[in-house]
Structure 1
Amino acid sequence: MSKKNRPPQDVDALIQRLQADFAAMPPQFQIGARYLIDHPHEVPIASMRTLATQAGVLPATLVRLAQSLGFSGWTELKAVFVQSLHASPMAYTDSAKAVLKGRNKPLAMLQRAVQAQAQNVSKIAEQNATSMAQAVDLLVKAKRVYVAGFRASHAPAFTFYYLYRLFRNPITMLRAEAGTLEMELRALEAGDVVVLVAFAPYSQEIVRVYEAALESGCKVIALCDSQVAPIALEANCNLIFSTEVPSFFPSSTAAVALVEGLIEQILARTGKKAVMDLQSMENQLHQTGYWKR
């Protein structure tokens, strides 16, 4: 079986295949494919007939769509989504119980953690081989940029905001302080670029920003842990990072590394003006912002 006809083995690969083949699909296949892309979490729990009704196609269309992707039928395609559901991250408390089992071997725990972090970071270039250039292009051309990341995702989001402001403006950090998120979202306008950072479990705030950005006609760049993350399904560009480590909490190390790589490429594309603005900011920081003996 050729690589093209080999059925995807995980949801991310399946979504990428649907997106890649979408333009060449018959209209009814496109309707079915769009529904699968937009509602991946419904596939494992609903019948094929129910999904077909909700999508607005015949059940046979979903069968033929599955076969066009290399599956023997709908059941095999659905199994990919079911497998993804079963592979959902454990609750923090369950993961913490697993961590306790290795507490008598702290050095081994640290070594496993470092190895996992290194593996996550090493995947970044391959995961974003084509999407990185697209993200850079959107950001270089943007007149206004907004960035959002809440809870554990705030750190990499703020890193993007801080580094971007060293040589480019304007950029706004959506903070949702004191319940003001809805007021902040009123500023979004068509043509703005909104950078979202999130990994599972996804906060309600980040999904709300994503929805508001789409409603306002903004360009959306999603930095997340999956092509089927709720902020990635209709984003203009997805940048993917891995969060899996043996600890009790998903890791944001690869997310920060991805942000730093993205910022570096934005500066390189912006050219001499970015260097001049950076120098101006750096001079100011050395005069007033850094401690001196």
Structure 2
Amino acid sequence: MPQPPQSYRELETLITAEYATLSKRLQQTARFVLDHPQEVALATVAKIAEQADVTPSTLIRLANSLGFKGFSEMQQLFRSRLVDELPNYTERIRAVRSATGETPDSTQLLWEFADANRAVLEQLPSRINPESLEKALDIFEQAHAIHVMGARRSFMVASYMTYALAHVDKPALLVNGLGGMYGEQLRAMSQHDALLTISFSPYAEESQKACEDAHQRGLPIVVITDSTLSPLARFADVVFVVNEAEVKSFRSLTASLCLTQTLAIALGVRQDKTRDKEKDHDKKRNA
């Protein structure tokens, strides 16, 4: 089976290249998905099949022929495209209503977001390598200070982590670019510090620059992102890949917040144990 495309543009290129080799029914399906990307991103398989005048199994066969394990894997590329091209929430809401013909009520949305977030939280522990968790804590414990970077959507996670670290008595600085001073804040990082960067597709340039700068200066880097193919991953000493919940093209941050909270509290526990050992050592020495 061929390697599936990793982006909507790659998918578009592959379909164009392979179009002539597809059966007439798959050609019809391929033309529909490229002509109606919003509908494909937001509607159910049954609804898409109805609009394309094909069976749901035809959609699955098209996805398989392009290297995907199933239709939902291919659909994710359409959703990522929608998120990238419609950053404004109002535009996304209009796209959802246009594609599905539905206007979900508030209670329905609450249940959908709650169910989606519950699912990703249940999966999170099995997706995090315990060795990576311990290595990240080693880096944080040894660092004189932790610089935390998160731009745009990731800013909330970064700001919470900075707050949490301060409350476990770990010096932490939020790289926020206030006053356009990203450069000055990055230069304030010393060789004894560490950098934590949180960034998700489409990956803020500021976050990439922070990782590149820290890497060149030899600082240890921990990255929380959404793919091993993230451009930030190659700079990192530890990479945590987090899958966030998504409902109607709106992505949550629940799993990332859970992970950062775990890192902060686990670091606090470590530091407390270290202080106890130091006290015991001092008592024995002075006895």
Q: TM-score range by the shorter chain?
A: 0.5 to 0.7
For 1:207 and 1:218, the matched residues in 2 are separated by 14
Partner of 2:196: 195
For 1:97 and 1:44, the matched residues in 2 are separated by 25
For 1:236 and 1:200, the matched residues in 2 are separated by 20
Q: 1:11 to 1:167 in 2, by over 3 A?
A: farther
Q: Deviations over 1:35-84 (max 9, x none)?
A: xxxxx9999899xxxxxxxxxxxxxxxxxxxxxxxxxxxxx9x957x969
Q: 1:274 to 1:206 in 2, by over 3 A?
A: farther
Partner of 1:208: 209
Partner of 2:114: 114
Runs of 4+ displaced beyond 3 Å: 7-12, 40-46, 82-88, 92-95, 272-275
Q: Deviations over 1:138-190 (max 9, x none)?
A: 11121221111111111111111001011223221111111111111112233
Q: 1:123 to 1:201 in 2, by over 3 A?
A: same
For 1:268 and 1:222, the matched residues in 2 are separated by 22
Give the CA RMSD over aligned residues: 3.5
Aligned residue pairs total 212
SS of the residue aligned with 2:223?
Answer: strand
Q: 1:274 to 1:196 in 2, by over 3 A?
A: farther
Partner of 1:129: 129
Q: Normalising to structure 1: TM-score of the pair?
A: 0.62
Partner of 1:96: 93
Q: Deviations over 1:221-254 (max 9, x none)?
A: 0011111112112310012222231144321111
Q: Displacement, 1:124?
A: 1.6
SS of the residue aligned with 1:228?
Answer: coil
The 10-residue stretch of structure 1 (116-125 or 184-193) with the greater mean CA deviation from structure 2: 184-193
Which has the larger Rg? 2
SS of the residue aligned with 2:147?
Answer: strand
Report the structure, 1 or 2, having the larger helix content. Answer: 2
Instruction: Give ranges in structure 1 of 5+ residues lacking alignment.
Output: 1-6, 13-39, 47-75, 276-293
Q: Does 1:249 find its partner at 2:240?
A: no
Which aligned pairs between 1:141-180 and structure 2 lie closer than 5 A?
Answer: 141-180=142-181
Q: Normalising to structure 2: TM-score of the pair?
A: 0.63
What is the letter of the counterpart of residue 109 of structure 2? M
Q: Displacement, 1:118?
A: 1.0
The 10-residue stretch of structure 1 (154-163 or 118-127) with the greater mean CA deviation from structure 2: 118-127
- Higher RCO (CA-CA < 8 Å; seq separation 6+): 1
SS of the residue aligned with 2:266?
Answer: helix
Partner of 1:224: 225
Alpha carbons 1:44, 1:79 under 8 Å: kept: no
SS of the residue aligned with 2:250?
Answer: coil
What is the letter of the counterpart of residue 268 of structure 1? V
For 1:144 and 1:205, the matched residues in 2 are separated by 20
Q: 1:188 to 1:128 in 2, by over 3 A?
A: same
What is the letter of the counterpart of residue 143 of structure 2? A
Partner of 2:35: none
The 10-residue stretch of structure 1 (123-132 or 173-182) with the greater mean CA deviation from structure 2: 123-132
Q: Does 1:237 find its partner at 2:234?
A: no
